[in-house]
Structure 1
């Protein structure tokens, strides 16, 4: 569904992504992890058209290198950010409606907006201003706005950051339902290995923009190279 081939991105002398290649299959939950500064978010920025790069990115067999972000979104790739991005003066419902109106080539569908509100458990808060929401609800809203674009792939950038254990469980359950009930392919960057091993079917570890290991999450987290570069020498 998504094919990354020999992708490289340099900022001056700094190589943020280094000859990276991997494939995400339709229906998969694909995980990406690595130390801070490994190039994870830069990779997301390349996939979603924010930076030029060397190499190839194909979505459903079509080369999308050079496409602007809005065109990539309308093809069916949506993303969230590490820090929740909302429109503070808008209501929850209008924020999701904007995603549905501008992020999809399909006609604006108020019924679908209501469906998403219920799906992410924000229906009772639909008239609240987003600037007044708590962190978990802002995260749910950011995911909901992305779902409003009717994506085929949803890219989540550290959705668990700053969350307590109860909130993490809620977010994990939502991600599972998005994948299983809505049939949306998920790519997730996350630091919590337990989250990745429970959610994903394939896990990629990168360091300084280079692949360290990729495969079954349990095998990856047991790999000595991963333990050394990411999990730490004290990991058992």
Structure 2
């Protein structure tokens, strides 16, 4: 995808506290149109909480702008209809629905106009779920459920897709397939992607820039080369897993 210069998403001094604990602590960053923007950090760094702030699950201090509009405090459905969609670290599916019904549900939830069944069909095929479209979602394996979350999220026609540790629990072949799917979303569908990922080799292949956080605060932000050579990142996060 051609990388734009416009700031699509801007977080300004955002903070979220649970009691005395600051899960996200005075964090600021910008995501430009066309980027695959990576987020890394150790367990408990505040990565998924950050996703919950952007998508309206929690109230917070500070300000978030999307496409030039202040979205601070908006409910999740309004944020989705503006063009931000997400997946979850632990697959969230409606087990009583079929694959097709689940993707259509995503399309209806995220639609600000007429429901587009044809586009939902395209997303089922795009996510390589055509053979499973009539199956109940509880029959899908882990990769299938992750593909389904992406297809349902993409059915909302987002400008930004936020994926949360999409490689977790997958084998080497499945990781390659998921990596290729995310690249195609960015390059073929012209969707800006924000990705949280634990596997640094995958993240550095997909994302530029990468933001590394610890205890809800920025450690550094930069290119994959800058991140993987940064002493603070190596100390707080990479360590012995740098080559894993």
Q: TM-score range by the shorter chain?
A: over 0.9
Question: TM-score when scaled to structure 2?
Answer: 0.95
SS in 1 for 2:198: coil
Which stretch of the first structure deviates more once superposed, 97-106 or 191-200? Answer: 97-106
Gaps of 5+ in 1: none
Using the alignment, how far apart are the partners of 2:51 and 2:169 within structure 1?
20
CA deviations over 1:57-112 (Å, ceiling 9, x no partner): 00011110110011001100000001111111111001000011121213111111
CA deviations over 1:154-210 (Å, ceiling 9, x no partner): 000000000000000000000000000000000000000001110011000000000
Structure 1 counterpart of 2:4: none
User: Aligned to 1:114, which of 121, 145, 148?
Assistant: 121
Runs of 4+ in 1 over 2 A off after TM superposition: 233-236
Structure 2 counterpart of 1:181: 188
Aligned length: 236
For 1:215-230, list aligned pairs within 5 A: 215-230=222-237
CA deviations over 1:111-159 (Å, ceiling 9, x no partner): 1111111111111111000011111111000000000111000000000
CA contact (8 A) 2:15 2:24 kept: yes
Structure 2 counterpart of 1:144: 151
Question: TM-score when scaled to structure 1?
Answer: 0.98
For 1:33-112, list aligned pairs within 5 A: 33-112=40-119
Say yes or no: does 1:164 pair with 2:171: yes
Shift of 1:32: 0.2
Residues 128, 29 of structure 1: alpha-carbon distance in 2 compared, 3 angstrom cutoff: same
Using the alignment, how far apart are the partners of 1:89 and 1:168 within structure 2?
27
